[in-house]
Structure 1
Amino acid sequence: MADLEYTVSDGVGTIVLNRPHAKNAFTFAMIDQWAAALRSARTDPTVRAVVLTGAGDAFCAGVDLSVLEAVGEEPLAIKRMLTHGVHEVARAADDLDKPLIAAINGVAVGAGLDMALMCDIRLMTRSARVSEGYIKLGLVPGDGGCYYLPRIVGMQRALELLWTGDFVDAEEALRIGLVSHVYEDDDFGDSRDAFLAKLVRQPPINVQMIKRAAYQSADADLRTSLDLISSHMGVVYATHDAREARDALRERRQPSFEGR
């Protein structure tokens, strides 16, 4: 079986990191496939949401250290390894205007946690634990941890987690807003699928516009944000799906959205 598997079913694109013997630590070949899967999902009209998860009892232990060691210690080689390699996933995730969900089914460490942080929403099993962990290897967060984590949990808590490399369990992750939901291990698959099904049922044009507007507004002033959303409203109000939503509400039935 492939080290990374990407499948599409029922409106969901599923990326599975499939190296359970290595706690799903990723290789450079997996990075290429990972970014390609996200780019494919972006333009595939049958995909309405994407979920990232790991095989076995781990989410992702970060980059495979044997692969990292093969790069050597030359500074430019390390920089290129990140900018021309690992960061391709971050850029592809940033381009995706569909929901990207991390289903953290086990330990997520270092770049493994960073890969979850670049998702829009994180779900977590009760037994999972996460850690930035870089500092314990004498490193700095190489895959966006210093960018994503402060935006999610606030600067003070982010710096504590980045400086100490301490593990966070599911209860604490939920309390500080690192994850949105914690599910029991035995129910995780069903709960994850039910959450994704809820997103897939929504009108896809609206979902995509809401995601873009929310992220763009984080770096914009109020008047710019209001101007942007007024244009979005003008567009979506005239779509087939908007009319279908209003008709379904009047007729007291479930709507069927087509993305047009």
Structure 2
Amino acid sequence: MTVRAYQDIKKGTQVADLELSKQGRVIVARLNRPEKKNAQSEEMLETLVDALRSANEDPEVSCFVLTGAGDAFCSGGDLGRRSNELAAVPTPLDRMDRLHAITHRVARAVEEFEKPLIAAVNGAAVGAGMDLSLMCDIRFAAKSARFAESYIRVGLIPGNGGCYFLPRIVGIAKALELLWTGEFLSADEALELGIVTRVYDDEQLMTETLAFAERLAEGPPIQQREIKKLLYQSLNTDLRTSLRAVSAHMAVVQSTDDYKEAISAFKERRKPIFKGR
């Protein structure tokens, strides 16, 4: 994505099948194919990858919110495209390369994204759409939201990280149950399982999500990024290694201007102003 294109995004514009806007220090990315329940297209995924990478490098962005247009979050892959594929008969290598080169770029971009990433699930999140929500750090849901790892219903296996992300949230047994059956979960059931952390009335979802995102955006960005890194790294390491990493990161954050500002604000009983230094 060019610098000019990203500047246009921050002003508020629609690029391909993804609508992007900026509110304060928060980028909002809205999957924008409501006529297809926001089924994923190549243009949508490519633009999302570029937006994530640009926002990650932009010091004026502190948080990224992902949601859907209309009454759905994302219905997954475009099944219309799959019917065309059957006519064209792509080779197994073609299918593997396409999945890796296009669909999986989003997961890799999310893994590299160091700032808070929030999914505001405004409706159905199905198949690759549910996987997309699971990639995010936090998920808030509207009461009308529904979740399903529905791949098995159309003769597929989870192709966008479902087998990786879901068991880390709900545990192995429940993940297998959901992946094997493809059954739907309501927003309240997702809340009970920890898939989402908050459920709001539909009309309040974006207001509440943006209020939370703006709250995070007021926090110290260096410390937020280090917390995120440490947490995800800890999932793949032992306690001693994790604690050793913390000691190194702590030495860095205590040398920042934002740390000094936090201490001064605490002593002076005022709200701190962080600058990411």
Q: TM-score range by the shorter chain?
A: over 0.9
Partner of 1:235: 252
Equivalent residue, structure 2, for 1:17? 31
Instruction: Give TM-score, length-normalised by structure 2.
Output: 0.92
Q: Which residue of 2 aligns with 1:208?
A: 225
Paired residues for 1:88-99 under 5 Å = 88-99=105-116
What is the identity percentage for the equivalent residue pairs of Structure 1 and Structure 2?
52
Paired with 2:239 and 2:72, the residues of 1 have a C-alpha distance of: 41
Partner of 2:10: none
* Matched length: 260
Name stretches of at least 5 consecutive residues in structure 1 with no aligned partner: none
Q: Identify the residue that residue 55 of structure 1 maps to in structure 2.
A: 69
- Map of 1:140 onto structure 2: 157
What amino acid is aligned across from residue 4 of structure 1 in structure 2? Answer: L
Q: How does 1:159-178 map to 2 (within 5 A)?
A: 159-178=176-195
Q: CA deviation at 1:80?
A: 1.0
* Aligned partner letter, 2:256: T
Which ranges in structure 2 are unaligned for 5 or more consecutive residues?
A: 1-13
Displacement of 1:73: 4.5
Structure 1: 4+ residue segments shifted above 4 A: none
Cα distance, 1:78–1:69 mapped onto 2, change above 3 Å = farther
Quick check: 98-107 or 70-79, which moved more?
70-79
- The residue type equivalent to 1:23 in the other structure is K
Rounded to whole Å, the distance in 1 between the matches of 2:98 and 2:107 is 14
1:46: which partner in 2?
60
**1:62-120 per-position Cα deviation (integer Å, ceiling 9, x unaligned):** 11112233444421111111101100000000000111111100001000000000001
TM alignment of 1:1-260, pairs within 5 A: 2-71=16-85, 72-260=89-277
CA positional deviation for 1:6: 2.2
Mapped partners of 2:211, 2:260: distance in 1? 26
3-state SS of the aligned residue for 2:157?
coil
